[in-house]
Amino acid sequence: MSVMLKTTNLSKSFSHKPSTLSRAAKKLGLAVKEQKKVHAVSDVSLTVNNGEVLGLVGESGCGKSTVGRMIAGLLPATSGSLSFDGNDMTKPSVNTHLNIQMVFQNPYASLNPRQRIDQVISEAAVYHGLVTKKEAPAFVASLLKQVGLDPSYASRYAHQFSGGQRQRIAIARALALNPKFVVCDEAVSALDVSVQAQILNLFMDLRESKGLTYLFISHNLAVVEYIADRVAIMYLGRIVELADTRSVFDRPNHPYTQALIADAPRLDAKVVEHRPIQGELPSPLNPPSGCAFHPRCPHAMPRCGSERPQLVQIDSGHWSACHLNDADVRSSPTAQPIEFHALQ
């Protein structure tokens, strides 16, 4: 299977803009307190294969959406590289931008309330010359049918639709540019559960009919388990585990992944004993040294606070960033092996 998208050590930092007083003091040669940086994404390396759905999972604030926005070209990367179909994305062409589209989280905020739906969907396609203004009505009608809406809705405005219908319109807008790759940023989290299932099935149908490839960003493990082929677990801006979906849910390796799955709601009435994640998510303004998860990890060792674990292959197609996977640690008589009992 060919690689469609690849990121290598992709990082993004945000700096606070200095105040007018700070800028004036700097011009006068006075000492000015250094502006802190938010390390939103750090050294993220991922590959997404042609026709694949890669799920990106993590707590709120871990950097998932920032990764998606960098891939979609909405944010520039601070460092690292990103390629699409073998082409460098640091200087992307117009065609590359058209091939990568994004469906945003909030359907109530992602559509222009001043435009009719036919304008929302066709505007970019007309601008880029994919269709003419004369062809636009038939073009919009076809897209509305593909996403399960009546073409007669084209003359309405966004406020006249429900949340699920608005998200279908947002999907139609993304499809208007005939993309190969779609970034879905929490695309169903703002919807009712019954509507979520409909939108997920729509994504799957479009994947088959149009050969789409997805980066599916979500904090909902059930959604990711249903739609994704592989799953990447993200914590405080870093990928800590990556594997096919079944391996992640049946044999989670990283303590953070284990805690996420153990805390996920389930339908069976079986009593499960597990320890919830202790503490709060550290601030990206001052991330912990070594392994970012070590202040909350029940298996933390002194090494975890000083040395950052690398993402290494522990099994066929299964990668994890944890010192407990090292051969010298596993062979130690005092080592605490990683065990997972929550789903058994």
**CA atoms of 32 and 128, how far apart (whole Å):** 47
Q: Is position 165 within any domain?
A: yes
In the chain, how many domains are there?
Answer: 1
Q: What's the average model confidence in pLDDT over 14-37?
A: 73
pLDDT (0 to 100) of residue 340 = 42
Per-residue pLDDT at 266: 64
Q: Which of 83-87, 95-99, 330-334 has the highest mean pLDDT?
A: 83-87
How do residues 261-304 score in pLDDT, each as one tens digit? 887 766 565 666 656 677 777 888 888 999 999 999 988 899 99
List alpha helices for 135-239, DSSP H: 136-146, 163-175, 193-210, 221-227
Whether residue 191 lies inside any domain: the answer is yes
272 in a structural domain = no
On the question of pLDDT at 328 being above 70, the answer is no
- The closest alpha carbon to 14, from 62, 73, 75, belongs to 75
pLDDT of 270 reads 60
Opening angle at CA 183, ends 177 and 186, nearest 5: 130
Summarize pLDDT for 195-222 with one digit per residue, the tens: 999 999 999 999 999 999 999 999 899 9
- Residue 211, pLDDT score: 94
Average pLDDT of the segment spanning 304-315: 92
Q: What residue numbers bound the domain in which 178 lies?
A: 3-27+35-228
Is the pLDDT confidence value at 54 over 80?
Answer: yes
Q: Please, is 291 exposed, middle or buried when counting C-beta atoms within 10 Å of its C-beta (0-12, 13-18, 19+)?
A: buried
Question: Looking at the domain assignment, is residue 281 inside a domain?
Answer: no
Residue 73 forms part of a structural domain: yes
In the predicted model, what is the mean pLDDT of residues 6-32?
A: 80
Q: How confident is the model at residue 114 (pLDDT cuts 50, 70, 90)?
A: very high
Whether 54 is covered by a domain: the verdict is: yes
Task: Express each pLDDT in 233-271 by its tens digit.
Answer: 999 999 999 999 999 999 999 999 998 888 776 656 566
**What's the whole-number average pLDDT of the chain?**
87
In order of 117, 120, 144, 268, the CA distances from 136 in angstroms are: 12, 11, 12, 50
Q: Domain holding 21: CATH number? A: 3.40.50.300
pLDDT of 342: 39
Distances (CA, A) of 109 to 146, 171, 190, 308: 22, 14, 11, 39
